[in-house]
Amino acid sequence: MSYFPERFSTVFNGFQRRLGFPLSRRRGGAAAGRQRQSGRVRHMATLSDVRFALPPGRWRADMGRFRVTRWESDAGEQLSLQLRPLTDHPLRRVLDSREKTAAYFARNFAAVGFKLLACRVGEADGQPAAAVIATPEEAAGQPLPYLGAISIPLRRYAFVINVVAASEENLRQYVEAILPTIKLSAVVKADQRRRWWR
């Protein structure tokens, strides 16, 4: 008796992902999720909020799951974009060491004119480790509007790219420049009612 409901749920969720939007809405889910966020978070955006910054016809095939958060800091209001590449992406071949992962993303950032300030790669057990690309002296020489970070929270190939932009225009430039070069295999839209990294 329990097999059918579980199987139906699996098929139903898979169909929603292929369709690109949820077929049902649960009351209070998004509001409850936002209440659990940090008090600094002012706005949670989804894929449609930054679709203007993506090349037409490219974002469906080249991007992974991501979300945009607007928050307050000592430097003023900032935007944070978090991109989660899919676990079957070829990038997993360069994740066998922190040095290779940091060097790969440093080259990608430099290719589009941006400098990767830091790259943080966590071990399989979730313990973070740091590989700094730009030294503090170099970073102090000129303001870098982008902070790129990579973390592997629990599974070996599930990592997150965090980008902090000083303004919406900076975020737009970043999305237009770097995301098409990553070339992810598929897109999974973020759902505010569920844990987006699942």
Segments of the chain scoring below 70 in pLDDT: 1-198
CA–chain centroid gap for 111, Å, is 20
pLDDT, residue 178, reads 52
Which residues touch 139 (CB under 8 Å, ≥6 apart)? 117
Q: What is the pLDDT of residues 140-190, one digit of tens each?
A: 554 444 444 433 333 333 344 555 555 556 555 655 555 544 433 333 333
pLDDT, residue 149, reads 40
Tokens 């199987």 correspond to what residue?
Answer: 7
pLDDT, residue 11, reads 52
In this structure, what token pair is assigned to residue 7?
Answer: 């199987």
In this structure, what token pair is assigned to residue 122?
Answer: 């966590």
Residue 82's alpha-carbon distances to 3, 10, 136, in angstroms, are 36, 26, 24
pTM (2 decimals)? 0.27
Q: Of 92, 79, 45, which Cα lies nearest the Cα of 174?
A: 79
DSSP code of 159? -
Query: Measured in Å, how far apart are the chain's first and last C-alpha atoms?
Result: 27
